Structure 1
Amino acid sequence: MKLRRQLAAAAATAAVLMLVPSAVATASPDKHPKVPADSLRALGAQQKLGIGTAVDDARLGSDRAYTDLVANQFSVVTAENAMKWESVEPARGSYDWAAADRLVSFAGQHGQQVRGHTLLWHNQLPSWLTTGVDDGTVTKGQLREILRKHVTDEVTHFRGRIWQWDVANEVFANSWDPNPLPDGLNGDDFWIRNLGEGVVADVFRWAHQADPKALLFYNDYNISGQDGTNAKFRAVHDFVAKLRAQGVPIDGVGEQGHLDTQYGFDAQRFQADLQSYGDLGLKVAVTEADVRTFVNNSTEQVPTSQPAAFAQPFEFSEMLKGCQLVDQCISFTAWGVYDGDSWIPGTFAGTGYGLLYDVDKAPKPAYYALQQDLRLGARPQKH
């Protein structure tokens, strides 16, 4: 039994104390003496659990407080935007790896692992590609070859330096999507619509050929029970099981973990669904965790109700514990460092306060909740 599983016996204590302050292997604080022993990354390392964040490359180096938080608190980094297609190939055949290379270099200097994000996604595609498909100057045959080349070129460029790749991202239908296919895929997804369902297996094969040692993930949101019906979980579960049976080189499933306090959260179902993916022989990861709530404004991001302010760290903590209690869960990543640089206010009007650090980069109750969970999970079992 892993040390992380000892968390179950102390879960009640964690709930009371959560608001009290107090690259293939995960980086060890012993090898990086500047990392505080009580940092999230150091505590996670004791459980062989990567603790990560999405990184805005533009802030690294130029913002010292931001840079120090990334270096000291996290053992895993994800490029928030720098590895997406529109960033790396803004003009057809002309690559710009500069921002992504800087992040990978930073990770190497600080003993961190890298999650590559993302190879197949319907958003943040270069305009030359989408315009070409729309006006017919890029045929479906050409589109498939363009995609193959993109996947091969990007994975090859970073070969040996990426721990996990989000190979395919958000191709399954949600309950509100109008055109779900029988197996749960979204019939209106750009790639499914143009290249068919087989494209998902193809990108995993291409990525594996380019870097056989990288872990290859399917990544999505609401796939661990957050949709209420558990329908999206079941669709993804059955689909990846089919891919595994066909010999497709898929290594894991990433549950994004974007939560909103107004909808509630079933922590038991979340953990059970992660375990179900693990029972297929897959690794699992929480890849984009944040918990938003209603706030006074997008600048200060002060929660407008006391229960919501309590629910935010509680739900963050429940997600982490769900990961800790699943042996196959190898990393837990917050989608951003601090509230002042979060995607949430610009996407969900009237909400914010979604991350571990506030707009001034000060640790929030959610930070201390995760710190407490990690301490409890690493504590030696009493006899």
Structure 2
Amino acid sequence: MFRHPPPRGRRTVGLLATALVTLSAGLTAVASTHPAHADTATLGELAEAKGRYFGSATDNPELSDTRYTRILGSEFGQITVGNTMKWQYTEPSRGRFDYTAAEEVVDLAESNGQSVRGHTLVWHNQLPSWVDDVPAGELLGVMRNHITHEVDHFEGRLIHWDVVNEAFEEDGSRRRSVFQQKIGDSYIAEAFKAARAADPDAKLYYNDYNIEGIGPKSDAVYEMVKSFKAQGVPIDGVGMQAHLIAGQVPASLRQNIRRFADLGVDVALTELDIRMTLPRTAAKDARQATDYGAVVEACLAVSRCVGITLWDYTDKYSWVPSVFPGQGAALPWDENFAKKPAYHAIAAALDDGSPTPGGNCTATHRVTSRWQGGFTAEVTVENDHTAPITGWAVTWTLSDGQSVDHVWNGALTADGQNVTVRDAGYNGTLGVGGSTTFGFRGQGAADVPTDMACASGQPSRTPA
């Protein structure tokens, strides 16, 4: 298992994607092979071989579940304390500190030889009410004292600290937290300075959601980090939370990771899950697996992307259904601790070998014309792998009343509402960054598929 901060500078190549296994819970069976090494090694071991860590967040209530803790302690090289390092737990009243709950998680990780990320020192949420009542002239001192006390308590035991969490709005403006209102823009830099003084060795991170792709929010974080580096503010990394939606992994993820790395900071994917609209289906599982493989591949493609952490590893303890009604099944293990296709996609992406179905290409759908009772559409297939691919297949589920009666530049097979279009032979080989298109004529409403997935390494088939 991974025990120490990962070494830098090792670029990886030859990534794999999804290897599907027979689905449980009455879903349609989808089978494939994946490398033998991935069968025997844990995700933590596979990541360690790449100079990364692969971890899971956890929370104190589930630690009484022995089946859960057995997997938690054996599969992962890193643990994040999901809740009980937050301010409401560690300083519930001013000047009174309590690390009992956090220590339970850290002790467990240490007993398993796992590294630990600290989460989080300064956040607008999960604050005890007394913080809001601190006079403006005192809050900077209170914040510094809190950071100093907590970081000093765990000094030498953690590899990373999420120093400040979620300080920006979607449009790139500063969130109007109590710290922003009473201290001003300088509070983030002051938080990092206090953390560095308390532990010179822990890597210090800014952490946020919806900064995985390039856009106004990630641009604002980028400019802040760039400014901090120029000013000598001690920031070591950026945490991209990566609470994602199946079929909506940002196309600019790898580019975004790289641009932050080019500033001279590490990047970690700190809270990864990929949710879907329930109920689960084989097609949705395949889409999710492809996405997990693509996320892992994006991290491995940038040497300063140092690790990936799931926001817990099993659907049994996922936060998603309580926050996003009708959505869930976001994690690589189901609620019964069975490994889902996403697990094998992660393992395959971490393990060297030839491409397997379920990744290394993307499919983008657009409607080109429509009329009463019918439509035509074009699908662009793009190689987003680091090497050429030979053979591809695009799958999706037709909506009620839809059918496909003609395809060009591809070969169609259908099983009820589940549709697969494979390459036509002459357009099956795509160089790095290369793309091709196929089109089809459909009957029914021109609904855009929500679960379209692309798999490379598929055998080419000539249209009948």
TM-score by length of 2: 0.69
Which one-letter code corresponds to 2:202 in the other structure?
A
Given the alignment of the two structures, is residue 6 of structure 1 paired with residue 13 of structure 2, yes or no? Answer: yes
How far did residue 190 of structure 1 move?
2.9
1:224: how far off? 2.4
Aligned to 1:278: 261
Shift of 1:232: 1.6
1:324 aligns with 2:300: yes
Q: Structure 1 residue 90: deviation in Å?
A: 1.8
Q: Does 2:44 correspond to 1:41?
A: yes
Matched to 1:238, the amino acid is E
Aligned to 2:106: 104
Contact 1:47–1:377 (8 Å) recurs in 2: no
The corresponding residue for 2:56 is 53
Alpha-carbon distance, 1:231 to partner: 1.8
Correspondence 1:133-282 to 2 at 5 A: 138-175=134-171, 184-225=172-213, 230-261=215-246, 264-267=248-251, 269-282=252-265
1:200: how far off? 0.4
> Which structure features the higher share of strand residues?
2
Tell me the secondary structure at the aligned position of residue 254 of structure 2: helix
Q: For residues 352 and 151 of structure 1, do their structure 2 counterparts lie closer, same or farther at Cα, with a shift above 3 Å needed? A: same
- In 2, Cα distance between the equivalents of 1:220 and 1:329? 16
- Which structure has more RCO (C-alpha within 8 Å, separation ≥ 6)? 1
Structure 1: state its 5+ residue gaps.
23-35, 133-137, 176-183, 297-302
Q: Deviation at 1:63?
A: 1.2
Q: Secondary structure at the match of 2:12?
A: helix
What is the aligned counterpart of 2:123 among 121, 124, 128?
A: 121
Counterparts of 1:215 and 1:2 in 2: how far apart (Å)?
16
Are residues 370 and 16 of structure 1, via their aligned partners in 2, closer, same or farther at CA, if it must alter by over 3 Å? closer
Task: Please give the per-residue CA displacement for 1:286-306, whole angstroms capped at 9, x wherever unaligned.
Answer: 00000011114xxxxxx2x54
Deviation at 1:307, TM superposition (A): 3.5
Asked whether the equivalents of residues 51 and 331 of structure 1 are also in contact (C-alpha less than 8 Å), the reply is: yes
Gap change, CA 1:311 and 1:127, over 3 Å in 2: same
**2: CA distance, partners of 1:16 / 1:230:** 32
Q: Secondary structure at the match of 2:196?
A: helix
Distance 1:53 1:187, change over 3 A: closer
Q: Aligned partners of 1:16 and 1:332: how far apart in 2? A: 19
- Asked if structure 1 preserves the Cα contact closer than 8 Å seen for 2:18 and 2:346, the reply is no
| Cα distance, 1:128 vs structure 2 | 2.2
Alpha-carbon RMSD: 2.2
Structure 2 gaps of 5+ residues are 1-7, 22-30, 356-464
- For the 8 Å contact 2:109–2:115, the answer to whether it is kept is yes
Instruction: Provide the residue aligned with 1:347 in structure 2.
Output: 323
CA distance in 1: counterparts of 2:201 and 2:97, whole angstroms: 24
- Hey, what's the Cα distance between the residues in 2 that align with 1:21 and 1:166? 38
Write the letter of the residue equivalent to 1:100: A
String of CA shifts for 1:19-45, please: whole Å, max 9, x gaps.
6475xxxxxxxxxxxxx9511011111
SS in 1 for 2:268: strand
Deviation at 1:189, TM superposition (A): 2.7
CA contact (8 A) 1:56 1:81 kept: yes
| In 1: Cα distance, 2:115 partner to 2:102 partner | 13
The Cα shift of 1:283 comes to 0.6
- Structure number with greater Rg is 2
* Offset of residue 191 of structure 1: 1.8
Which whole-Å CA distance do the structure 1 matches of 2:264 and 2:271 have between them?
Answer: 22
Note if contact 2:242-2:271 (Cα within 8 Å) is conserved in structure 1.
yes
Give the aligned length: 335
Deviates more, 1:187-196 or 1:141-150: 187-196
Question: Residue type matched to 1:162 in 2?
Answer: L
Q: Does 2:272 match 1:289?
A: yes
CA distance in 2, matches of 1:71, 1:353: 22
Corresponding residue for residue 32 of structure 1: none
- Whole-angstrom CA distance in 2 between matches of 1:248 and 1:191: 18
Q: CA 1:287–1:123 in structure 2 vs 1: closer, same or farther (change >3 Å)?
A: same
* 1:265–1:337 CA distance, 2 compared to 1 (3 A): closer
**CA contact 1:187–1:193 (8 Å) conserved in 2:** no
Q: Using the alignment, how far apart are the partners of 2:299 and 2:322 within structure 1? A: 28
State the match for 1:372 in structure 2. 348
Q: The residue matched to 2:138 in structure 1 has which SS?
A: helix
Contact in 2 for aligned 1:37/1:43 (Cα 8 Å): no
